[in-house]
């Protein structure tokens, strides 16, 4: 299959959508991102790479980091992670407080903001230096050391993160946050502010496409059972309240972020990453969603 030709065709087809979405300007630092950017990067398990567009430019991965947060935490704590975070799709916006109040401070899943805040709290309780532990883990997945948090983006999120602060305080009132709320928020904002290129993110996600094992070094990051569960949560909860639409149109487990990135996998075959900062009303990349729909349609590859 001529993947390069297919990616080039997709690029041309989604160009009219690239400048139509809205950047995540509720995080002021992200309001400065050029919404005309677009990249798509495919990486196979046998180490073939295909790319079009702005695939070597760093961008804020935002909620995509929640996959790495969950993987690291579950590899350390095991199944008891799910005692404090559920695994159901939310059906509500990623920063909703309504369900959290109704369900006694237990987040619906680890990929909405409240769920990731609880995971962050677990990391603080589990690691002497969770910041260093997490960065080292992500750098290990990517296979390079120059992966960093963007301090300006993290500060911008903190300055305007009122709903996240409300969530963590609400969960604290229900006893589902063990540590200082400011410490949890600061660390969470830093994790979301990690920057990567499409190619770096594809390398990190290829580990998940390979059932939690490194492709080059064969290091085991998560067990087969943990891979199964994380992949299932990506499929059902990876796109906020648009997860069903993504499964219907694309058919790959993945995770989006309001920085405009989408990372997805076909287990045993490939990882694929798109980046286009213009978002639809649900907070997912407008051109990125369409690009991945076209990719699985043209290649006939999905989990279904």
148-179 pLDDT, tens digit each: 999 999 999 999 999 999 999 999 999 999 99
Q: Is the model's pLDDT at 183 over the cut of 80?
A: yes
> Average of pLDDT values for 105-116?
96
Virtual CA dihedral for 5, 11, 14, 16, nearest 10 degrees? -130
Based on the domain organization, do 168 and 252 belong to the same domain? no
How does pLDDT run across 32-48, given as a tens digit for each residue? 999 999 999 999 999 99
Residues 85, 96 within the same domain: yes
Instruction: Name the helix (H) or strand (E) containing 273.
Output: strand 270-275
Positions marked active-site: 63, 66, 188, 240, 258
Same domain flag for 135 and 246: no
Q: Is the confidence at residue 3, as pLDDT, over 90?
A: yes
Flag whether 164 is marked binding: yes
In whole angstroms, give the CA distance from residue 180 to residue 44: 42
22 and 10 in a common domain: yes
| Residue 258 assigned ligand-binding role | yes
Q: Indicate if the pLDDT at residue 202 is higher than 80.
A: yes
CATH of the domain at 111: 3.40.710.10
- When pLDDT is cut at 50, 70 and 90, the band that residue 88 belongs to is very high
Same domain, 162 and 254: no
- State both tokens at 53: 């567009």
Domain boundary among 134, 163, 192: 192
In a domain, 73, yes or no: yes
How far is Cα 102 from Cα 117, in angstroms, rounded to an integer? 18
Residue 201 CB-density burial (10 A; 0-12 exposed, 13-18 middle, 19+ buried): buried
Residues 111, 136: Cα–Cα separation, whole Å: 21
Regarding whether 289 and 255 lie in a shared domain, the answer is yes
Asked if residue 234 and residue 136 are part of one domain, the reply reads: no
Please give the Cα distance from 155 to 172 (Å, whole number): 23
Report whether pLDDT(197) > 70: yes
Q: Tell me: pLDDT of 94 over 70.
A: no
Sign of CA dihedral 247, 250, 253, 256: negative
Residue 157, marked binder: yes
- In sequence order, what are the residues at sequence separation of 6 or more whose Cβ sits closer than 8 angstroms to the Cβ of residue 176? 84, 105, 106, 118, 121
pLDDT tens-digit profile of 211-269? 999 998 889 999 999 999 999 999 999 998 899 999 999 999 999 999 999 999 999 99
What burial class does residue 5 get, using C-beta atoms within 10 Å of its C-beta: 0-12 exposed, 13-18 middle, 19+ buried?
exposed
Q: Which among 195, 216, 197, 198 has a CA at the least distance from the CA of 207?
A: 216
- Shared domain for 13 and 116, answered yes or no, is no
Two structure tokens written together for 286: 């407008």
Same domain, 43 and 26: yes
Question: Smallest Cα–Cα separation from 130: which of 62, 187, 89?
Answer: 187
Is residue 304 in some structural domain?
Answer: no
Q: Is 113 annotated as a binding residue?
A: yes
User: 230 is in which domain, residue-wise?
Assistant: 3-62+197-299
Q: How far is CA 14 from CA 4, 17, 43, 83, 270, in A?
A: 16, 5, 20, 42, 22
Residues 19 and 139 in one domain: no
Indicate if 22 and 100 belong to the same structural domain. Answer: no
Residue 89 belongs to a domain: yes
- The domain boundary, picked from 157, 192, 227, lies at 192
Query: Does 44 share its domain with 132?
Result: no
The domain total for the chain is 2
Is 188 annotated in a binding site? The answer is: yes
Final residue belonging to a domain, choices 174, 192, 210: 192
């Amino acid at each position: 299959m001529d993947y390069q030709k297919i990616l080039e065709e997709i690029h041309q087809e989604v160009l009219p959508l690239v400048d139509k979405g809205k950047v995540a300007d509720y995080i002021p630092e992200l309001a400065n991102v050029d919404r005309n950017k677009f990249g798509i990067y495919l990486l196979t398990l046998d180490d073939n790479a295909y790319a079009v567009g702005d695939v070597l430019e760093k961008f804020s991965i935002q909620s995509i980091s929640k996959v790495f947060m969950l993987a690291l935490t579950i590899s350390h704590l095991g199944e008891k992670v799910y005692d404090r975070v559920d695994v159901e799709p939310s059906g509500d916006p990623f920063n909703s407080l309504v369900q959290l109040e109704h369900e006694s401070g237990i987040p619906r899943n680890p990929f909405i903001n409240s769920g990731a805040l609880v995971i962050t709290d677990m990391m603080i309780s589990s690691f002497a230096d969770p910041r260093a532990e997490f960065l080292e883990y992500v750098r290990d997945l990517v296979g390079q050391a120059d992966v960093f948090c963007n301090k300006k983006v993290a500060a911008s999120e903190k300055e305007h993160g009122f709903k996240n602060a409300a969530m963590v305080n609400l969960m604290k009132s229900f006893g589902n946050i063990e540590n200082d709320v400011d410490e949890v928020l600061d660390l969470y904002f830093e994790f979301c502010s990690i920057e990567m290129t499409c190619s770096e993110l594809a390398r990190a996600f290829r580990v998940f496409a390979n059932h939690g094992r490194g492709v080059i070094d064969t290091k085991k990051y998560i067990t087969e059972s943990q891979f199964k569960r994380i992949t299932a949560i990506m499929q059902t909860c990876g796109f906020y309240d648009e997860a069903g639409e993504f499964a219907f149109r694309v058919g790959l487990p993945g995770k989006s972020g309001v920085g405009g990135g989408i990372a997805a996998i076909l287990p045993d075959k490939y990882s694929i990453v798109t980046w286009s900062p213009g978002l639809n009303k649900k907070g997912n990349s407008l051109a990125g969603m369409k690009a991945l729909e076209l990719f699985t349609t043209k290649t006939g590859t999905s989990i279904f």
